[in-house]
Amino acid sequence: MSVSDVRTEVRRWWGERWAEQLEAVAAGAARAVQRGQALARRGAVEDLQVVPGSIDATVAEDRVSPYRVALRWPLPTDAAWDRGVRALGTELRHTAALLDDSLSEELVDTLSDAGVELLPRLDDLEPACSCREAGPICRHVAAVHVAAGVQIDRDPRLLLRLRGRSRDELLGQLRHAEAETLSAPDLDLGGGLERARGDLDAIELRPAPVQDPAALMRHLGPPPGVDDPRPLEALIERAAAAAWRLAAGDGAAAADEELLLAELRAQRTGSAASLAEALGREPEAVREELDALFESGAVLRTGSGDRARYRAAYS
């Protein structure tokens, strides 16, 4: 199996960037990399854990006790994270990306400029394996690198955890940084607004749902190349509904639902079990959420029980 074959396992840019690092391995380790990819593909990597500063796992081979593998990466300093938070806090789009459980290249670049690298080069990692084979990389380390890349592709929050911050911690720090910025005494917001001071939580918000989210598109006409605008209108309405749920305080449930729908679109047709495995959730809870989405019309379903198959109503 070639390195490029691994990319069939990943779909997002940060997953591809992670997989590309194996291409930088010296020619003398090419065989170890190929064997490691084969081990990862057949499910030999077990108990994979991403913790601050390390990726730990075991790799099982036939008739051999599992090998213990660790890919260690020294954590950024608190000062670097503070600089990164201040830089991210200047643009709300970075907070929006994190709320969407996504990573933009701009967010990664902004943190990098502040001294916080989210995506490691392979030589940034300090591999350790109980096999003690000679060479720049052993097959067990390569297998764990591949398996970790697949998980990180599905859940970019793992990259933040690896670097010592959970997504919720980072969002909390961003919220605090944004509040400090808005309460700065010399801040001029322009227009008719007064200088903002105090705690943002004290501001009373009264959001209201949009009655017809697709009205503007109907007024302007469908985009070029769109013959039937109805699926697009449905997507706009669903996005507006998700935004309203976030504004109304149902953020976690709305985010989980959108993540489930995104994975379902990626699989095209999936079962509760396949989606639960991809998202790291319990199959029964995923099945209940899928059935609720079926009732709302967001998901199509064939079969029932464990044999039920689902696909998104709109791609």
* pLDDT of 39 higher than 80: yes
pLDDT at 109: 93
Count up the domains in the chain and report the number: 2
Q: Is the pLDDT of residue 159 over 90?
A: yes
For residues 159 and 291, membership in a common domain is answered with no
246 & 151 share domain: no
Whether residue 18 is contained in a domain is answered as: yes
Dihedral pair phi/psi, residue 299, rounded to 5°: -135, 140
Give the residue from 11, 67, 73, 10 showing the smallest Cα distance to 39. 67
Rounded to an integer, the average pLDDT of 44-50 is: 93
pLDDT at residue 75 greater than cutoff 60: yes
Q: 229 pLDDT band (50/70/90 cuts)? A: confident
Position 233 confidence tier, pLDDT thresholds 50, 70, 90: confident
Q: End of a domain among 131, 153, 170?
A: 170
3-class SS string, the chain: CCHHHHHHHCCCHHHHHHHHHHHHCCHHHHHHHHHHHHHHHCCCEEEEEEECCEEEEEEEECCEEEEEEEEECCCCCHHHHHHHHHHHCCCHHHHHHHHCCCCCHHHHHHHHHCCCCCCCCHHHCEEEECCCCCCCCCHHHHHHHHHHHHHHHHCCHHHHHHCCCCHHHHHHHHHHHHHHHHCCCCCCCCCCCCCCCCCHHHCCCCCCCCCCCCHHHHHHCCCCCCCCCHHHHHHHHHHHHHHHHHHCCCHHHHHHHHHHHHHHHHHCCECHHHHHHHHCCCHHHHHHHHHHHHHHCCEEEECCHHHCEEEECCC
Within a 10 A sphere around the Cβ of 89, how many other Cβ atoms? Answer: 19
Q: What is the pLDDT of residue 46?
A: 92
Residues 142 and 26 in one domain: yes
* CB-count exposure of residue 104 (10 Å: 0-12, 13-18, 19+): middle
Q: Based on the domain organization, do 150 and 223 belong to the same domain?
A: no
Q: Which amino acid is at 284?
A: E
Does residue 199 fall inside a structural domain?
Answer: no
Kindly report whether the global pTM for this prediction surpasses the value 0.75. no
User: Which pLDDT score, from 0 to 100, does residue 96 have?
Assistant: 80
In a domain, 91, yes or no: no
Q: Which residue has the higher pLDDT, 100 or 139?
A: 139
Longest dimension (CA), the chain: 74
Confidence of residue 81 (pLDDT cuts 50, 70, 90): very high
**Looking at the domain assignment, is residue 85 inside a domain?**
no
Could you tell me if 228 and 285 lie in one domain? yes
Asked whether residue 230 falls in the same domain as residue 298, the answer is: yes
Highest mean pLDDT among 21-30, 65-74, 242-251: 65-74
Phi, psi (deg, nearest 5) at residue 127? -80, 145
pLDDT in the model for residue 201: 58
Rounded mean pLDDT of the chain?
80
Closest CA to 85 of 72, 98, 74: 98
Nearest to 40 by CA among 56, 63, 66, 59: 59
134 shares its domain with 232 = no
Report for 43-52, 94-103, 222-231: range of highest mean pLDDT: 43-52
Whether residue 286 is contained in a domain is answered as yes
pLDDT range class, residue 71, cuts 50, 70, 90: very high
| Claim to verify: residue 49 and residue 141 sit in the same structural domain | yes
Same domain, yes or no: 272 and 143:
no
Tens-place pLDDT, residues 170-210 = 888 887 776 665 555 544 444 444 444 555 555 555 556 66
pLDDT in tens, 120-144: 888 889 999 999 787 778 999 999 9
Residue 162 located in a structural domain: yes
Q: Which of 22-26, 51-55, 164-168, 308-312 has the lowest mean pLDDT?
A: 22-26
Domain membership of residue 301 (yes or no) is: yes
CA dihedral (64, 66, 72, 78) in degrees, to 10, reads -170
Q: Which two tokens stand for residue 298?
A: 């967001």
Residue after which a domain boundary falls, among 170, 186, 210: 170
Q: What is the CATH number of the domain that holds 292?
A: 1.10.10.10
What's the domain range around 140?
3-76+109-170
Provide the Cα torsion 293, 295, 297, 302; round to 10°. 90
- Decide if 53 is inside a domain: yes
Q: Read off the tokens for 78.
A: 């608190």
Instruction: Return the pLDDT at 62.
Output: 76
131 plus 72 within the same structural domain: yes
Please tell me whether residues 150 and 271 are part of one structural domain: no
* Statement to judge: residues 53 and 134 lie in one domain: yes
Quickly state the pLDDT bin for 164 (edges 50, 70, 90): very high
